[in-house]
């Protein structure tokens, strides 16, 4: 079992609380608007990092950071992009996938600065679509946030978006009443 930490929209500033919230994860995904290559170097001191470019990023991150990323972690296929439209997979395909590419299990985006966790018919063929919100400039009245997803043997076990204070904002599967 592995825990994936997901962060987005740092805009050149890594809140120490975000760094601490990701300290125990096995892999980190940064969904764009990184803002400074030093952010990725700092996150890499915690765990391997997969990152994509956002609309405020430039190619200074090197060849390993592009518009899309498609890592597989513990057999779970991820599709990562900054823009929400780029992680939607429809019958017409996706800008991030070529014909014959494996379909994602977990789609991750940034850009909106608003936490989102969706499942069901609207995100198929994926199991989950997730935006961690923003670790620097949240919108919509939400606090600064990150996400955590636990995966094992090709399955997503659970997902949680939490404030940098550790308060749960959104969870999957949803908590039982």
For position 89, which CATH number holds?
A: 3.60.21.10
**Per-residue pLDDT tens over the stretch 103-141:** 999 999 999 999 999 999 989 999 999 999 999 999 999
Per residue in 17-74, pLDDT (tens digit) is 999 999 999 999 999 999 999 999 999 999 999 999 999 998 888 888 999 999 999 9
More confident residue, 91 or 19: 19
Residue 115 belongs to some domain of the structure: yes
Pair 26, 49: CB distance under 8 Å: no
Residue 155 is predicted with a pLDDT of 97
Q: Which region among 75-84, 95-104, 146-155 has the lowest average model confidence (pLDDT)?
A: 95-104
In a domain, residue 69? The reply is yes
User: Is 0.75 surpassed by the pTM of this model?
Assistant: yes
Give every CB contact of residue 141 below 8 A, 6+ residues apart in sequence. none
pLDDT over threshold 90, residue 175: no
**Rounded distance between C-alpha atoms, residue 21 and residue 164, angstroms:** 7
Structural domain of 80: 2-172
Structural domain includes residue 163: yes
How many domains in the chain? 1
Residue 177 lies in a domain: no
Within-domain flag for 101: yes
Q: Is the pLDDT of residue 144 over 90?
A: yes
Is 93 a domain residue? Answer: yes
């Amino acid at each position: 079992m592995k825990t994936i930490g997901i962060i987005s929209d740092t805009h050149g500033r890594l809140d120490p609380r975000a760094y601490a919230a990701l300290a125990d994860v096995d892999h980190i995904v940064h969904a764009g608007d990184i803002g400074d290559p030093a952010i990725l170097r700092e996150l890499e001191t915690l765990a391997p990092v997969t990152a994509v470019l956002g609309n405020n990023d430039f190619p200074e991150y090197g060849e390993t950071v592009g518009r899309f990323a498609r890592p597989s972690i513990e057999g779970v296929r991820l599709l990562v992009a900054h823009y929400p439209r780029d992680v939607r997979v429809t019958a017409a395909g996706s800008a991030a996938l070529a014909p014959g590419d494996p379909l994602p299990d977990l789609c991750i985006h940034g850009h909106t600065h608003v936490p989102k966790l969706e499942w069901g018919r609207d995100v198929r063929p994926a199991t989950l679509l997730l935006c961690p919100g923003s670790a620097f400039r949240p919108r919509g009245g939400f606090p600064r946030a990150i996400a955590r997803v636990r995966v094992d043997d090709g399955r997503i076990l659970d997902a949680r978006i939490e404030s940098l204070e550790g308060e749960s904002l959104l969870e999957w599967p949803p908590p039982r009443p």
